[in-house]
Amino acid sequence: MNAVSVSPTFKHPTLHLLQQCTNLYSFKQVHAQMITTGLIRHTYPISRILLLSSTLTTLSYTLTIFKQVPNPTIFLYNTLISSLVQKDHTQVALSFYVHIFTHSTFKPNNYTYPSLFKAFGAHQWFKHGKALHAHVLKFLDSPCDNFVQASLLNFYSRCGKIDIARYFFGQIMEPDLATWNSILSAYARNTSVSSVVSASHFDDNTNASLEVLSLFSQMQKSSVKPSEVTLVALITACADLGALSQGTWAHMYIVRNNLNLNLFIGTALITLYANCGCLSLACQLFNQLPRKDTFCFNAMIRGFAIHGHGHEALDLFEKMKQEGFTPDDVSILVVMSACSHVGMINEGRRYFESMTSIYGIEPKLEHYCCLVDLLGRGGLVKEAEENVLTMPMEPNAILWRSLLGAARVHGNLEIGEMALKKLLELEPETSGNYVLLSNMYACMNRWDDVKRLRKLMKDYGVDKTPGKSIVEVDGSMHEFVIGDKSHPRTKDIYLRLEEMNVRLQEFGHKPKTREVMFDIEEEEKEDALSYHSERLAIAFAFITTDPGVPTRIIKNLRVCVDCHSSTKILSTVYRREIIVRDGTRFHHFKNGTCSCNDYW
């Protein structure tokens, strides 16, 4: 007999028993009762037993139940596909999706596709998802259904197609909390709070994080209240931007509204405060968390690492193990990074070797990058090169660039030229690669080679990546580029900049012009250094904030030698604490010294 459709309000004692099943034995007993009472002939009871079967029984048992239904409805097909996807039986779910077209007289409906899109997004099967999207347009009478649009939003965001996801969000009328969380989380995933932002992704990450703040502002104007998931996305974006005011507001919102300070929020807040230069607040929050996991420890160890507190990072790593948490690949990466930032070469090597010998973790490209950085910073450029050439996977551009940077710092021209050759094969359009070697040539007075590199850049159509700095003042983010005159307070900024230059000269500062473009006069070189983006950001902060307020700057490039030297002096002259997060680490300038001890 055909399955009979009934309302979900269908009441029967056996269904109550079904809800209480916790093991295979009790499930089979209730299944037998459903058969003997004829309950198994009704669509809704069948859907309930299919859902529970996928949890308590084998895949074959679940499929047998479904196959015994003579003419299953689209509701049952949807139920089965959803339960299969939840158990990661995606291929089987797809086969039943195809079965709808070949063995039934009905079409898929708005409840058929979301489960499949969820599976495709989780596996990042972009090609399959695009084909399924075409089916949505072909077979659905109302493809603009909010439920379907939200599933498309999630799919495209999971596959990294953030612009397409944003389009679908715009198509959804009155998005609910889940939809808001989906788009906010999509943009938050595009940020790089796991490491200090690199120059190549600085603009993309900044734009994605700013979009999170803009979307959250729109959400506040709706009737939807944020949840813990919302706040994690918001805090993650604030951490990427170094937006301390907005991040602190999010923290206070959690406290005022008694939201759960779960592990996800706790980890995000630790990263926020570490990324904003407030390491003491990150430590305080970490210590106050009632529960911790490996992710929390990793975030705190990373915080110590990027602020140059190598010994504290290693101590916390050991404490994590003592408290029973097993280090993962990220744990090793951040503790190696901590060693790299303070020159603990032997310790860093030991942690790298422990990955396979103690923890059974296969090193990834990121670990080799960190090892090369560790060795290169410590002057072991040849050993760094050997690791690049003998590693079990193909070196990527980040590895070669790290080696090139080490070669530049320690004057190993042979390795530097070899690294640049490899980089030109992988990414000929990246200006920083040319600049590193060009600076090395300049330091050695090899101006013909500098000129040759400049010509090579021109031949490839490569423009030098401009330095960009972001400073937060009164909750607003202000961005500057070298020689920037677009800010509304440009006149005041340049007046303060002139004053700063005079004070630097009085203090005996000699501009370090060797690495500035060689084909301009010495006086122009000094001017070029004076107009670097972080100098403009510092000048703006000095005219808009009280002396007791730390100046916090995020820069896309590594701090140059001259800016590093002059900022140390400015911190003394103006009695200011200046915190700079560059493309490598944090620099805390105070009383004429820097936390990096000139090791960066």
Q: Residue 272 — φ and ψ, nearest 5°?
A: -55, -55
Q: Is 242 helix (H, G, I), strand (E, B) or coil?
A: coil
Neighbour-count burial of 192, counting CB atoms closer than 10 A to its CB (0-12 exposed, 13-18 middle, 19+ buried): middle
For the beta sheet containing 586-590, the strands, ordered from the edge strand earlier in sequence to the opposite edge, are: 476-481, 468-473, 551-555, 578-581, 586-590, 593-594
Provide the residue-wise pLDDT of the chain in tens; the chain has 600 residues: 445 444 444 578 888 888 888 888 999 999 999 998 888 888 899 999 998 888 888 899 999 999 988 888 999 999 999 999 988 899 999 999 999 988 778 889 999 999 999 888 878 888 889 999 999 998 888 767 888 988 999 899 888 889 999 999 998 888 999 999 989 998 988 775 444 444 445 666 788 898 999 999 999 999 899 999 999 999 999 999 888 999 999 999 999 998 888 999 999 999 999 999 999 999 999 999 989 999 999 999 999 999 999 999 999 999 999 999 999 999 999 999 999 999 999 999 999 999 999 999 999 999 999 999 999 989 999 999 999 999 999 999 989 988 988 888 888 989 988 998 898 888 888 888 888 788 888 878 888 888 888 888 888 888 777 889 999 888 888 999 988 899 999 999 999 999 999 999 998 888 765 555 444 344 444 455 567 899 999 999 999 999 888 999 999 888 888 889 999 999 999 999 999 998 778 999 999 999 888 877
- Please state the three-class secondary structure of 436-459 as a single string: HHHHHHHHCCCHHHHHHHHHHHHH
Neighbour-count burial of 294, counting CB atoms closer than 10 A to its CB (0-12 exposed, 13-18 middle, 19+ buried): middle
Distance separating alpha carbons of residues 279 and 588, to the nearest angstrom? 11
For the chain, domain boundaries:
13-106, 176-291, 468-594
Global pTM reads 0.81
- H/E stretch holding 355 reads helix 345-357
